[in-house]
A and B are shown apart, each in its own frame.
Chain A
Amino acid sequence: MTPDLQALATLDRTIHEPARLMIMTVLYAVNEADFLYLQRECGLTQGNLSSHLSKLEDAGYVLIEKMFKGKYPLTVCSLTLKGRTAFAEYVQKIRVVSEPPSNGKRTSSKSRPDNG
């Protein structure tokens, strides 16, 4: 296997699933969001979102807390430090895969500059 393809094989499967990728993307961009906001943003059903959130919570990527805003109960989700790091690494790997080769030549992932 070439090094370029090897990077694809090491993608985090927990994040790679489309619904979970959507959830992680939304949570990465904000500090915290509640269940209803995530449901509307991602267009998922209640059961679907709940099951994906449980998987992300089991992986230690998402923190789920029950809280109140006034008298209104909220199920608030946020990314943990582990989750943020995992998502940043995932995005970095995907970027390397989709980067166009510089000077018309293909370069290996090791020789590419780190775009942070």
Chain B
Amino acid sequence: MTVSQPPVLAAEERAWNYWFVDGLTNLVIGANTLLFALCMIFPPRWPPKPLSIAIWLAALIGYVAVGANYRRIIEWLKAKTTYPRTGYVQPPYSDDPAQAANLTTFSLRGNDPPPEVQLLRMQRRTTWMITVALAAVAAFSSMIIKARWGWTAEGVLFSVAMIIARKDFRLSWILPVGFPILGLYITAFAPRHMGPEYSITGMGLLFVLDGATTLTRYILQNPAPKVPAA
């Protein structure tokens, strides 16, 4: 038997990945991005059109509501889908104050997590920061570069960010492959003034596609139990 990593580290990593195992996170991110895209597509204009205003307002309220309750929505969806199938685990990065208090007390006693676990958490944080930085650069590049190829550059940068994120976050290849294609499509076919709308809508669709694919695969691999677990 070959041991690739210490069992505590492996258990921590599986618990971390478990949050992303069902694709619900990306599905909700995608849906929320699409709501934001709706806000961009139907901005309030003069003279006001009732239907346009209603869609914009509904999308805006939906976007803010989903953004504010992101974690609660995912937990609710997981309670219906994931927990009955494969169980519940609170991820190690949880910000639950009760749990944090317990861990803080534990740390004060000098019993920090093993060094390898601390190293893994540090690496994960670094990956996350690099991903966010690259995504920010990609978003700014599309604002600064006025040429049409700016959208392709944005797509490639987002793709690189997703490839880096895949190291620690469970993402399919749909996002890294999809972003450059989206960038090329906007460069080639989108009306010049509609670039941001196409970009945000495309991003939302990619995240929804990624989440839906992962969720379908998860449900097929883990059919619902006949008898609910006690």
Contact = CB atoms under 8 A, between A and B. Distances in A.
Interface of A: 22, 25-26, 28-41, 69-76, 81, 84-85, 88, 91, 116
Interface residues on B, range: 35 or more
* Chain B interface helix/strand/loop/mixed: helix
A34 B83 CA distance: 9
Contacts of B79: 69-72
Contacts of A70: 75-76, 79-80
A41 B13 CA distance: 12
Contacts of A72: 79-80, 83-84, 228
A31 B94 contact: yes
Given A81-B102, A116-B115, A33 B83 contact: no
A37 B96 CA distance: 19
A116 B115 CA distance: 8
Interface in B13-57: 14-15, 18
A28 B6 CA distance: 13
Per DSSP, chain A at the interface is helix
Contacts of B15: 26, 29-30, 33
A68 to B, nearest CB: 8
A33 B89 contact: yes
Contacts of A69: 75, 78-79, 83, 88
Given A29-B12, A84-B106, A85-B111, A34 B7 contact: no
Given A69-B79, A81-B106, A40 B92 contact: no
B7 A88 contact: no
Contacts of A30: 11-12, 15, 89-92
Given A29-B11, A81-B102, A74 B92 contact: no
Most chain B beta-carbon neighbours within 10 Å: one of A31, A32, A116: A31
A72 B20 CA distance: 20
B88 A31 contact: no
